Structure 1
Amino acid sequence: MSGATPGRGLVLVVEDDRAIADLIGLYLRRDGFGVHVETDGSMGLAAVRRLRPVAVVLDVGLPGTDGIEVCRRMRADDDWTPVLFVTARDDEVDRIVGLELGADDYVTKPFSPRELVVRVRAVLRRAAGPAPAAAVVVGAVRLDPAGRRVHAGEREVVLTSTEFDLLAHLMRSPSRVFSREQLLSAVWGYAAAAATRTVDVHVAQLRAKLGQASPIRTVRGVGYAAEPAP
């Protein structure tokens, strides 16, 4: 089921609860997005490949092919369209956002449809990327804002748009300690105390990808900073 595609582009909503899908679609359309809805994972994946949406709002608990598998297949296709997961259980957050998939963001049910739209807009701003700037180097990690590429030593590291922007924000101010709330505001575009866990999960994902070259240091009780690896 599709809606007209205004200037903000088409968002694919993959959600098997029709009432929730309709509510998400209503608020996205009010904000100027086109919306296409699918109710199962296989059809959702086919729609991603056919429609090339600007973002995907993806329920985790889909019948058949679940949301995690849809996202995994997208990434296997080298499709890095921003994905915002919708999950019914907070204890799924580490699994869906972090160490396996590096999703761009998530909301847990019940959620505010207005907040979901804000998060979709923020995900798209991050995907567009900042204005080109000079390369930044901290220790063995080199970040190229213009090409949105990262190297750890000689190895290129593939990051999601959110991971890239989080790393860039830390590396542009080496040794400065940022709180989780500050990182949420600067990178995700919103600040909510209940959402700071997503920062920790994305930092874990970055460290896993960068390996021993990771410049991210945890400052206990405060937040994170970028410094050369010892």
Structure 2
Amino acid sequence: MKTKILLAEDDPDFGMILKQYLELEDFEVSWFQNPEDVVELLSSDFPFQIAILDVMMPNIDGFSLAKMILKEKNNFPILFLTAKNQKIDRLTGLKIGADDYIAKPCDPEELVLRIKNILKRISPPITEIQIKIGQYLLDTQKLSLSHPDGNVRLTVREQELLLYLLKHNHSMITRDNILDNLWETNDYFTGRSLDVFISRLRKYFSNDPEVKIQSLRGIGFEVDFPTN
């Protein structure tokens, strides 16, 4: 069965190029030039596995559309297309809960690679369904982190990063290793996105002082997760 992609892109030329290329890569693409048409689908059956959203669209921008999708479809994979180079745009998308971004004009092969990496992360190879981390319980199937004071729903990328840190528990992890293994690229913007996700994890574990993710300036991180 083909992966169904929702593509929201108002530029007719660029949208057609992306649609045709993705279909050549054996994806099924539903292309929407008007983001309001996507909103109408949210109350019905939503048959897509991933959304690619242009940030700059009329009436409803990509960030606002992503918020609407994630409100109805929690943890839905989203990749942003942006023609801007300002870091605030990229960080805004990550804070909303997007999985990745790519700048326009983009290399179609790189876009396909990023899509496949996101889809691969949706069903990561996990040996344990529930993992005890201090006072918390991670349910890898439900993407939930529960604590006596409340539960948190994780995004796919947040859980992927948490599992990577757990794999290297009680040790030092370099930033380069994390970026190379999880983001498969290493530049300023991916480095900043890593900082965003680390900050989120620290916030999630703030009720247990025994759970520690310590920054090592210029090197990476040292993690201490009580798992017994």
Question: Matched residues in 2 for 1:47 and 1:182: separation?
Answer: 40
Secondary structure class of the residue paired with 2:206: helix
Matches within 5 A, 1:13-92: 13-47=7-41, 49-89=44-84, 90-91=86-87, 92=89
1:49-96 per-position Cα deviation (integer Å, ceiling 9, x unaligned): 544211000111111011111111122224322001112223211111
Is the Cα contact below 8 Å between 2:136 and 2:145 reproduced in 1?
yes
Which residue type is aligned with residue 43 of structure 1? D
Alignment match, 2:145: 150
Which residue type is aligned with residue 18 of structure 1? P
Question: Matched residues in 2 for 1:166 and 1:70: separation?
Answer: 25
Alignment match, 1:3: none
User: 1:13 Cα deviation (Å)?
Assistant: 0.6
Question: Matched residues in 1 for 2:12 and 2:30: separation?
Answer: 13
TM-score by length of structure 1 reads 0.83
Is the Cα contact below 8 Å between 1:56 and 1:84 reproduced in 2?
yes
1:142-195 per-position Cα deviation (integer Å, ceiling 9, x unaligned): 32334432224542111111111111111232122323332233334x223353
Question: Matched residues in 2 for 1:181 and 1:110: separation?
Answer: 26
Structure number, greater radius of gyration: 2
| 177 and 24 in structure 1: CA distance in 2 versus 1, 3 angstrom threshold | farther
Alignment match, 1:4: none
User: 1:216 Cα deviation (Å)?
Assistant: 2.5
Which residue type is aligned with residue 14 of structure 1? A
Question: Matched residues in 2 for 1:170 and 1:82: separation?
Answer: 22
| 207 and 16 in structure 1: CA distance in 2 versus 1, 3 angstrom threshold | farther
Is the Cα contact below 8 Å between 1:132 and 1:146 reproduced in 2?
no
Question: Matched residues in 1 for 2:176 and 2:47: separation?
Answer: 33
Comparing 153-162 with 31-40, which one deviates more in the overlay?
153-162
Is the Cα contact below 8 Å between 1:102 and 1:202 reproduced in 2?
no
- What is the percent sequence identity of the aligned residues? 25
Matches within 5 A, 1:86-165: 86-89=81-84, 90-91=86-87, 92-98=89-95, 101-133=96-128, 135-165=130-160
User: 1:21 Cα deviation (Å)?
Assistant: 1.4
Is the Cα contact below 8 Å between 1:129 and 1:161 reproduced in 2?
no
Secondary structure class of the residue paired with 2:97: coil
Question: Matched residues in 1 for 2:58 and 2:191: separation?
Answer: 30
Aligned length: 220
Comparing 11-20 with 44-53, which one deviates more in the overlay?
44-53
User: 1:47 Cα deviation (Å)?
Assistant: 4.0
User: 1:42 Cα deviation (Å)?
Assistant: 1.3
Secondary structure class of the residue paired with 1:53: coil
Which residue type is aligned with residue 39 of structure 2? L
Comparing 137-146 with 165-174, which one deviates more in the overlay?
137-146
Comparing 120-129 with 89-98, which one deviates more in the overlay?
89-98
Comparing 133-142 with 175-184, which one deviates more in the overlay?
133-142
Is the Cα contact below 8 Å between 1:180 and 1:223 reproduced in 2?
yes
Q: Among 196, 199, 206, which residue is 1:204 paired with?
A: 199
Question: Matched residues in 2 for 1:209 and 1:115: separation?
Answer: 32
Secondary structure class of the residue paired with 1:211: coil
